[in-house]
Amino acid sequence: MTDEELDRLIEAQAVLLGLGLHPEWREAVRANLQVTLRFGAMVEAFDLPDEAEPAPVFSA
């Protein structure tokens, strides 16, 4: 994603989540979200079967 696309995403999510973002926070939030998405792509790229269970298992 470009910086402009990310900024639009951040702006929309801030509205959705009810977060008031100061303009001067934008760059650091974007930088952190870029790391999240880079790591997210690494995890996404790993092939797991549909049956793979998440680590936390709820016991009734």
Partner 1 sequence: MSPWQDATSIAAAVRAGEVTAVAVVAATLERIARHDPALGAFTALVSARAMARAEALDAARAAGEALGPLAGVPFAVKNLFDIAGLPTLAGSAINRARASAPRDATLIARLEAQGAILVGALNMGEYAYDFTGENAHDGPSRNPHDLARMTGGSSGGSGSAVAGGLVPIALGSDTNGSIRVPASLCGIFGLKPTYGRLSRAGSFPFVDSFDHLGPLARSVRDLALSYDAMQGPDAADPSCAPRAVEPSLPGLDGGIEGLRIARACGYFRQGLSPEAALATDAVAHALGVTAEIEIPEAARARAAAYLITTAEGGALHLDRLRRQAEEFDPDTRDRLIAGCMTPAPLVIKAQKFRRWYQQQVLRLFDKVDAIIAPATPTTAPLLGQKLFSIGGETLPVRANLGLFTQPISFIGLPVVAVPVPEMGGGPLPIGVQVIAAPWREDICLRIACHLERQGVARAPRPREMR
Closest contact distance (angstroms) between CB of 50 and partner 1 is 10
Residue 48 tokens, joined: 């797991």
Tell me, what DSSP letter sits at residue 40? H
The CA distance from 11 to 17, in Å, is 10
Closest contact distance (angstroms) between CB of 4 and partner 1 is: 16
Q: Do residues 30 and 3 touch, judged by C-beta distance below 8 A? A: yes
C-beta of 42: minimal distance to partner 1 in Å?
Answer: 4
**Footprint of partner 1 (CB under 8 A):** 9-10, 13-14, 17-22, 25, 28-33, 35-36, 39-40, 42-44, 46, 48, 52-56
